[in-house]
Structure formats: structure tokens, C-alpha cells
């Protein structure tokens, strides 16, 4: 018997990748317009680096979303189905991040720009960001 028959649909986190759903272009268009406008705003009123970093963050978020790469789902699949592919991918991602960022932080600069760890006290912005993150995780099913 195949895994698709034995495993309930709720335990198959990547099952949606085989389904064909039509995409409503209106929300995609609105989101794309908002991303472009915010990127242009950051470029115009803050700096081109902030605009570029915003676009990199959006791109990474889209890639991770479509890859169904989430920290909680990988742990859930490991505990429920004893499949550790997601956890191995997380460990590989963390190892590569350390290999890239530790030398940059140790040198103190990257392409002529100062690079250092940022440590600051918790403020209202951190509390508001944590709250919004929690709301997003609940809406996203995480």
C-alpha cells in the first residue's frame, strides 16, 4: 500500500503541492503593488540598501512559503510521522548561515560596510513586532 493511502491528508504537509487550484489575480496584484510601493518608498526616503533588503526579505519569504519550509511544520512531521527531512534541512540552513555570517561578524566589515551584532533593550517596537508575528502565525496556521 502506498504512503498516500496509509497517511491521512492532514499529516502530509506537502500534499497541497499536487493540487491544482486557480489563483485569484486580484490579491496577488494588490500584494505585488504594495510590495513595489513599499520598496520604492524605502529606496526614496531611507536608502537604496533598505529597499534592496526589503525585496530580498520578500523574495526569501515567498520562496520559503512555496517550499512549505517552516520550523513548526518540520518538528510536527518529525514527531507525528518520524520523518526528519525538514529538520535536516533546518540544520543545514543554520550551518550555512553560521558559515557565512561568523566570518563576516569576526572581520567587522562586509564590502566596506560595518558588520556587527546588534544588542538593544526590549522596547515597544519589539513587543508590537512579536504580537504581529504571533497574529501572522495564527493566521498562517503555524
Per-residue pLDDT tens, the chain, 142 aa: give them.
455 555 554 555 545 455 667 878 898 899 999 999 999 999 898 998 888 889 988 988 887 777 666 677 788 888 888 888 888 888 888 898 889 888 888 888 888 888 887 788 888 988 999 999 888 888 876 5
pLDDT of residue 132: 92
pLDDT of residue 141: 67
3-state class (DSSP) for residue 123: coil
What is the radius of gyration, based on Cα positions, of the chain?
Answer: 19
Nearest by Cα to 43 from 34, 53, 33: 53
* 104 contact partners, CB below 8 Å, separation of at least 6: 110, 115
How many Cα neighbours within 13 Å face the side chain of 130?
6
Q: How many CB atoms lie within 10 A of CB 66?
A: 9
Expressed in percent and rounded to 5, the helix, strand and coil fractions of the chain are 70, 5, 25
The CA-based dihedral angle spanning residues 112, 115, 120, 123, taken in that order and rounded to the nearest 10 degrees: 70
* 39 contact partners, CB below 8 Å, separation of at least 6: 51, 54, 55, 58
Amino acid at each position: 500500500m502506498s504512503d498516500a493511502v496509509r497517511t491521512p491528508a492532514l499529516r502530509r504537509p506537502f500534499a497541497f503541492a499536487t493540487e491544482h487550484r486557480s489563483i485569484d489575480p486580484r490579491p496577488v496584484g494588490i500584494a505585488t503593488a504594495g510590495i513595489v510601493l513599499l520598496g520604492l518608498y524605502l529606496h526614496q526616503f531611507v536608502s537604496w540598501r533598505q529597499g534592496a533588503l526589503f525585496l530580498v526579505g520578500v523574495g526569501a519569504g515567498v520562496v520559503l512559503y512555496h517550499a512549505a519550509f517552516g520550523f513548526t511544520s518540520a518538528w510536527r512531521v518529525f514527531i507525528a510521522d518520524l520523518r526528519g527531512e525538514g529538520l535536516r534541512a533546518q540544520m543545514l540552513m543554520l550551518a550555512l548561515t553560521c558559515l557565512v555570517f561568523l566570518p563576516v561578524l569576526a572581520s567587522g566589515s562586509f564590502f566596506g560596510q560595518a558588520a556587527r551584532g546588534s544588542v538593544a533593550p526590549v522596547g515597544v517596537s519589539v513587543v508590537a513586532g512579536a504580537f504581529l508575528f504571533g497574529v501572522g502565525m495564527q493566521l498562517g496556521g503555524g
